[in-house]
Amino acid sequence: MYREQHPDEEPPAVRWLPFQLNPDLPEEGISRQAYIERKWGKAGNKYERVAAVGREVGIDFKFDDIKVQPNTVNAHRLMLYGTKHGREDEVAESLFAAYFKEGANLTDKKTLADIGARAGLERDLLEDYFDGDEGKDEILRGDLKARQGGVNGVPYFIFNRKVAVSGAHEPETLLKAMEQSKQE
């Protein structure tokens, strides 16, 4: 849509910044069912609407296949690693597909190495990376900065460090925010 309305401009650059929805979860995560019950009670989860919208746009979410609600520090470390190796968008896509379409356990470091390899990163180097804590402090600082800046959920878009949009919106809304950020 952006390219259609701005054919002579480069599309905006995208940066993925760390933000944990559940920073209080243990490193190994918790059972997805326990998480859902903690969040919404025994009445069930609220993902039916998201799944229906996903089907409308060709995304087959497999929420029932997700067994672990993860602590995402290591997933964010994978994103950081991908950014440093020029594969940020590929890693993001690989992470989202693995979690939302395959139910992958994002707390498992070998699984994260597999996800990174699917995004074009070297698996052996990723295993070495996950054996240590490199990048962890950077992720925790970035998460804290986001919280201090008012982020409290995802998705959260910041255009040109000027205009913020929180939540899922129609493409037209995001385009208006992009255009507004260029004017301010």
Task: Walk along the chain (184 residues) and give the pLDDT tens digit of each residue.
Answer: 556 776 777 777 778 899 999 999 999 999 999 998 888 877 666 778 888 888 888 889 999 999 999 999 999 999 999 999 999 999 999 999 999 999 999 999 999 999 999 999 999 999 999 999 999 999 999 999 999 999 998 888 888 888 888 887 888 888 898 889 888 5
Domain with CATH 3.40.30.10 in the chain: 22-148
Tell me the C-alpha to C-alpha distance, in Å, between residue 29 and each of 49, 73, 136, 181: 25, 11, 16, 37
Using the Cα atoms of residue 145, residue 149, residue 154 and residue 159 in order, give the sign of their dihedral: negative
3-state secondary structure of 68: strand
pLDDT of residue 124: 97
Backbone phi, psi, residue 69, to 5°: -85, 110
pLDDT of residue 6: 67
pLDDT of residue 89: 94
Distance CA 165, CA 96 (A): 21
b vs e for 15-52, b when ≥16 Cβ sit within 10 Å of the residue's Cβ? Answer: eebbbbeeeebeeebbebeebbeeeeeeeebebeeebe
pLDDT of residue 107: 97
The CATH topology of domain 22-148 is Glutaredoxin (3.40.30)
Instruction: Identify the CA nearest to 97 among candidates 83, 77, 81, 114.
Output: 114
pLDDT of residue 65: 95
pLDDT of residue 1: 59
Q: Which amino acid is present at 61?
A: F
pLDDT of residue 170: 82
Question: pTM for the complete prediction?
Answer: 0.88
Backbone phi, psi, residue 121, to 5°: -95, 160
Q: Report angle CA 65, 67, 68 to the nearest 5 degrees.
A: 135
